[in-house]
Chain A
Amino acid sequence: MDFMLILNMLKYGIIILLLLGLTASLLSPFVVLGEESMIADGLSHVSFMALAVGVIFFNEPFYVAIPIVILASILIKYLVISKKIKSDAALGIISSVSFAIGLILISFVKTTLNLETLISGSLWLRNLSDVIIVGILFILTTIFILTQYRKLISLTLDYEYAKVSKIKVNLLSYVFSSLVALFVVVGIKSVGVLLISSFLIFPLVTARVFAKNFKETFVYGMIFTSIIILFGILIAHMLNIATSSTIVVLYGAFYLILLGIEWLKVRVK
């Protein structure tokens, strides 16, 4: 096929990936530094199950999945805040059980939603309305982060101090969790379970190697993510492999290289 033709067919998919990558770069610092990487990962598995439930009972799984995942995120947050659970063990359970339920459900139904799409996503057959949903998500996230920026830093840095400073810590945490949940559901529909938690983790872990201050973690995160997404799409289509998997592997390789550089820096000094 002609390159321009492929590009034309993929254009919505590419825009969706880039918008999701940018949204993730805005959330990533607060997710990772707030030690919520595991929560994001757990939510992606809950989303997988919620979408599967949606497929069985409704035509549009998406609108069933959104409230389920937001509720799950608030519940997890509540359990963590009230210290009713040790978060990582409980999350591991929630995560694997929902994934298992999702797999069972999906094996029962043969619909448009196939397993591989849910796990590793697909860029084909994306239309304008998908782009608009992701666009709205990006705008919402940008507004939220810009208006709550300082409060989110305080909250992420030191919960106790933020509380003493009269920040409504619980409300802010719940709203933030819901936003992450929304991102996860919307993201999974487009790029799959596999990529979505990587999206939330990699921007910060790679950006912080270079960032001289907190603001720069967003800048570097966005730059690295965009470059990796574009390279990932290119390589995936040249080698005819799944785009999401390619992007995750590229991210991983990039992170390894950064770790190597860091290690060398310490040794050389």
Chain B
Amino acid sequence: MIEFKNVDVKFENYFALKDVTFKVNKNDFLNIVGPNGAGKTTLIQAIIDKVKVSNGEIIKNFDQIGYMQQKLIINASFPMTVKEFIYTGFIKQKLIISKEDIELMKLWMNRMDLDINMLDIRVNKLSGGELQRVYFIRSLIKNPELIILDEPTSALDPEFRKKFYEILYELNHKGTTIIHVTHDIDNNYLKDNSKILLLDQSIKFLGDFKTYKKEYGHGLHAHS
């Protein structure tokens, strides 16, 4: 689905990514981990063409992509409802939102433990955790073949975190490829067969979680 071949990304005078080579296959669940400033977000931005590759190439083969960026920017003065916001994630968007689409949104609101009445309130009234869930809904609602999540759990409460991973695994089980960038590895929820890519400018480790645990033992926190 995605293939990096000796990719360098250079900003001014330092390398954000150096000689990165890896492959994402269809239906992978790839966790990209690494310390702050390791180039995780840069790697994602290279996939979505936000930064230019200085050397090497990226072969991409996907159509629809659900993307949730690290910084959830909501212009506080943007007068739109949660419904209007989530609707920007749909593939076919009509001038008037159809009943079926609203039903689909309600379904996901329920699954994310959000009150369906929230659909009609303004986005700037949401708390950080609620906003993150709403962003999550937007990224997955069109049922894309690839979902990229950049540090999605930072504002989620631990209670919801469990559910969040459940949903991710369920989507993955149904065939969605998932790229999940995370600051530290959530030992409780990651499955042994999900892939880990430890990044610090270049790739330091690439393999499944089980092997990773063996090699790095208790040092599960990538930055330690």
Contacts and interface: CB of A to CB of B under 8 A. Distances in A.
B81 A214 contact: yes
Contacts of B84: 153, 213-215
A157 B67 contact: no
B48 A164 contact: yes
B81 A212 contact: yes
Interface stretch (B23-31, B87-95, B157-165): B87-95
A176 to B, nearest CB: 17
A215 B78 CA distance: 12
The residue among B65, B77, B78, B83 with the most chain A CB atoms within 10 A of its own CB is: B78
A211 B79 contact: yes
A183 B110 CA distance: 45
B75 interface: yes
Interface in B38-83: 48-50, 64-65, 67, 69, 73, 75, 77-81, 83
Contacts of A33: 75, 77-78
Interface string A248-268: 000000000000000000000
Measured as residues with beta carbon below 8 angstroms from the partner, the interface class of chain B is 20 to 34
Interface string B86-125: 0111000111000000000000000000000000101000
Given A150-B88, A160-B50, A163-B48, A208 B77 contact: yes
B48 A214 contact: no
| SS class, residues of chain B in contact with chain A | loop
Interface string A164-175: 111000000000
Contacts, number: 61
Contacts of A164: 48, 65, 67
B81 A150 contact: no
Contact of B79 (A154, A158, A161, A217): A217
B49 to A, nearest CB: 8
Measured as residues with beta carbon below 8 angstroms from the partner, the interface class of chain A is 20 to 34
A162 B85 CA distance: 12
Contacts of B64: 166
Given A158-B73, A160-B50, A161-B67, A153 B79 contact: no
B95 A150 contact: yes
Given A150-B94, A161-B67, A208 B80 contact: no
The residue among B48, B85, B89, B93 with the most chain A CB atoms within 10 A of its own CB is: B93
A166 B83 CA distance: 21
Given A160-B50, A161-B67, A164-B48, A150 B77 contact: no
Given A33-B75, A161-B69, A154 B80 contact: no
Interface in A183-214: 207-208, 211-214
A213 B80 contact: yes
A150 B80 contact: no
Contacts of B67: 161, 164
Contact of A157 (B50, B65, B88, B120): B88
B79 A157 contact: no
A146 B95 CA distance: 7
The residue among A33, A160, A161 with the most chain B CB atoms within 10 A of its own CB is: A161
A63 interface: no
A149 B89 CA distance: 14
Given A150-B93, A161-B88, 14 more contacts: A33-B78, A158-B88, A161-B69, A163-B48, A164-B48, A164-B67, A211-B79, A212-B122, A213-B79, A213-B81, A213-B83, A213-B122, A216-B79, A217-B79
Give 9 nearest A-B pairs by CB, closest first: A150-B93, A214-B80, A208-B79, A213-B81, A211-B79, A154-B88, A164-B67, A164-B48, A214-B84
